[in-house]
Amino acid sequence: MTRIQQQEDKLNLAPKKFNMWIFIFTSFMFFAALTSGFIVYSGGTGHGIHIILPQAFMYSTAVIVLSSVTMFMASRAAKGLQFAKQRLYLWLTIILGILFFIIQIYAWYVLVYKMGIYFTNPNASQSFIYVFTGMHLLHILAGILLLGYTLWGSYRNIPQVKNLFGMQMSSIFWHFVDIIWIYLYVFLLLNQY
């Protein structure tokens, strides 16, 4: 691939990166609106969550933080042209993402079957737990799909400029969902009682 083609590829990919940042911004505003809604509801009625969160949420937090580390390692490997390591760390990130998803579903199981907290609950502030985690899980699912697409591209031996772009887009999104989860988890912890 010539230098001119590489420059053209970079120019063609720039709008996609801008779109990713717009999506990140709108998702951030969405989660800010959800937490604001909770604050308004609980402040206006005096309702708090009034439960201790399942420990599964703590475990899932550790898993997603670890997945950000593996994502960082995958990006570093891609920049160093270490494609086998890139694929290994991408696989680990995907596996940790799936594990996060499973642990979150288990936390719902604990909420429903062990704590008796349902989505349709007289204390609507407890329903916010499902809204926060459910919307976040949709973002996790999108992140896993994006990671899978990036991994698939690395196996197809696409040009390095596109490989790095895919890694950059995946990293931006994956670290974003990590930060959002930490924000939501801390927010829920602070509003337990």
DSSP H helix total and E strand total for the chain? 5, 0
How large is the average pLDDT for residues 86-93?
97
Position 135 confidence tier, pLDDT thresholds 50, 70, 90 = very high
The burial of 138, by beta-carbon neighbours within 10 Å (0-12 exposed, 13-18 middle, 19 or more buried), is given as exposed
CB 170 within 8 A of CB 17: no
Query: Half-sphere exposure of 170 toward its Cβ, with a 13 Å CA cutoff?
Result: 35
Position 115 confidence tier, pLDDT thresholds 50, 70, 90 = confident
Residue 9 token pair: 């590829």
Residue 166 has pLDDT above 60, yes or no: yes
> Which pLDDT score, from 0 to 100, does residue 10 have?
56
Domain ranges, ordered by start, for the chain? 3-190
Q: Would you mind telling me the total number of residues written for the chain in this entry?
A: 193
Neighbours of 99 (CB within 10 A): 16
> Which pLDDT score, from 0 to 100, does residue 152 have?
94
Record the pTM.
0.88
| pLDDT, mean over the chain | 88
Close Cβ partners of 35 (under 8 Å, ≥ 6 residues apart)? 132, 184, 187
> Which pLDDT score, from 0 to 100, does residue 162 have?
87
> Which pLDDT score, from 0 to 100, does residue 138 have?
96
Class of domain 3-190: mainly alpha
> Which pLDDT score, from 0 to 100, does residue 110 have?
94
Higher pLDDT residue, 88 or 51?
88
